[in-house]
Chains A and B, each alone.
Chain A
């Protein structure tokens, strides 16, 4: 059962000869992504910090998307989610994703609302 691994990543674009090689391949990919993240975090190109998409800086979108990509490959290849049956995968991944998105949505909207109250109300934080 656990011995047969699915060896293709990137939707079958790259297929590795053995599970061990796949691990090193994924590691190389994760390292590249991390290096890109850190480089962008240090350089902070103005094009990306000044333009926004849905009220968030493009740079932050890139960081979040790259984080999710990393999370995907850690879960799928290091934790062997790729080799598990579909019901187990869905029970774990969908539950977490749904609850986390819900929590984040509610808390961030609430936090932004409180910011507006602090900023525009008569009581000012200037003392």
Chain B
């Protein structure tokens, strides 16, 4: 490491230059402070996620119900296994990175090459997994109907299992055509065409007596509510008992009675939603999808740039740049960044998928 520090003849004088504050080189210290600022950016994202979630605490989508897919296991309900796998991949690539740094300290070039290569592979698997997760989320699985007020109506059978709209919607002869820019008023665009439109879902729902609807409201603690003497609470109990059939399941999503289901769908329904984008989200509030895209997207972008940095130093190691320089500190600095990406994922995993 001495090779990097110029001998200026002022050794021992604190302000004379050539001194290393905090015993770390300039590059390493700056990487640490960059990480602090980046951590604040991510905490801003996650804290605003918490803000929105607290704001809609009784209608927020449950992560276990949203992310239930695993590649090649079609139709198998596998909540969170895939995210756990992704977490594991990222931690493991962190391990290979720190092993590369360790080998760098011992000036073992070939070991650094192998470990860096493994790190890059781990990073690529992670980014690919995230792309798959996004694709699955965007595609959606059951479909739902959005109301005029922006609520999401999801369909269930009598046993409380989800039913996909494709299973009951009837195909109506009247075909709807999507409005395009080239056809009519140029600044207006039609919405995305879904596999069934609202009228078809409505007709199918009315024809099938066994279907029920739920929105995102959760069943409150009924015992406490019934015991209350407040007039507002009594009205609330009356409203709940009029609307829902599963009031004994505290904390579960409340299911409308058949009668209420029909009236909800017919009076409030507006359009069919399949999957999620920034404006509509079949799993619940669109904010959930917005935060999912922004937080995992921003993190995925960090992983992607980390892979690029790793590739650059990988080739530098291969052609012997750091061997000639006499130290592998660059591997250590990029390593700090890479571990930080892992660190952020640990928090995203907890606050997006677990809590």
Contact = CB atoms under 8 A, between A and B. Distances in A.
Interface in B262-312: 268
Given A31-B88, A63-B354, A78-B98, A115 B57 contact: yes
B56 to A, nearest CB: 7
Contact of B95 (A23, A96, A103, A107): A23
Per DSSP, chain B at the interface is helix
B40 interface: yes
Contact of A88 (B32, B336, B347): B32
B310 to A, nearest CB: 15
A108 interface: yes
A41 B63 CA distance: 10
A30 B353 CA distance: 18
Interface in B332-355: 332, 335-336, 339-340, 342-343, 346-347, 349-350, 353-355
B245 interface: no
A103 B39 CA distance: 12
B149 interface: yes
A41 B346 contact: no
A91 interface: yes
Contacts of A107: 47-48, 50-51
Contact of B55 (A1, A87, A91, A114): A114
A54 interface: no
The secondary-structure label for the interface of chain A is helix
Q: How many B residues touch the partner, as a band?
A: 35 or more
Q: How large is the interface on A (under 10, 10 to 19, 20 to 34, 35 or more residues)?
A: 35 or more
A74 B35 contact: no
A34 B84 contact: yes
B64 interface: yes
B54 interface: yes
Interface string A10-49: 0000000001100110010011001101100110000001
A84 B33 CA distance: 14
A126 B99 CA distance: 57
A8 interface: no
A51 interface: no
A90 to B, nearest CB: 10
A24 B95 contact: yes
Contacts of B192: none
Nearest to B336: A79
Given A112-B54, A115-B55, A127 B149 contact: yes
Contacts of A75: 339, 343
Contact of B350 (A24, A63, A88, A92): A63
B107 to A, nearest CB: 11
A82 interface: no
Contact of A27 (B40, B95, B349): B95
B22 interface: yes
A111 B50 CA distance: 8
Contact of A103 (B29, B43, B101, B329): B43
Contacts of B148: 127
B22 A96 contact: no
Contacts of B52: 111
Contacts of B92: 27
A60 B355 contact: yes
Nearest to A56: B355
Contact of B346 (A74, A96, A115, A127): A74
A80 B335 CA distance: 10
B154 interface: no
A85 B23 CA distance: 7
9 contacts: A23-B98, A34-B91, A74-B339, A85-B22, A92-B36, A104-B50, A111-B51, A112-B55, A126-B149
Given A1-B23, A38-B84, A118-B55, 17 more contacts: A19-B102, A23-B95, A27-B91, A27-B95, A31-B91, A37-B354, A38-B81, A71-B346, A75-B339, A87-B22, A95-B36, A96-B43, A99-B40, A104-B43, A111-B54, A115-B54, A127-B147
